[in-house]
Amino acid sequence: MEQPIVGFHQDEVGDWVADLACGHTQHVRHNPPFSNRPWVLTQEGRRRFLGFVLNCKLCDEEREQ
């Protein structure tokens, strides 16, 4: 289920995590070549992605139950 990003925080190792409107979270790492998200490295980049939707796998799993 698609959910908008409402904020960001860093996990215990410093990787960025998106806070989703549903209350779940999702890592948004910049880890080329596997994931290319240079925007997550700057405050301005993260601000621009507020409201961007990500597919929340946890919401999908809850709907299936």
Q: What is the pTM of this model?
A: 0.89
Q: Which two tokens stand for residue 16?
A: 């960025």
pLDDT digits (tens, 9 = 90+) for 1-57: 999 999 999 999 999 999 999 999 999 998 888 889 999 999 999 999 999 999 999
Other CB atoms within 10 A of residue 1 CB? 16
- Sign of torsion over alpha carbons 14, 9, 4, 58: positive
Output the pLDDT for position 19.
Answer: 98
pLDDT(59) > 90: yes
What's the pLDDT score for residue 31? 86
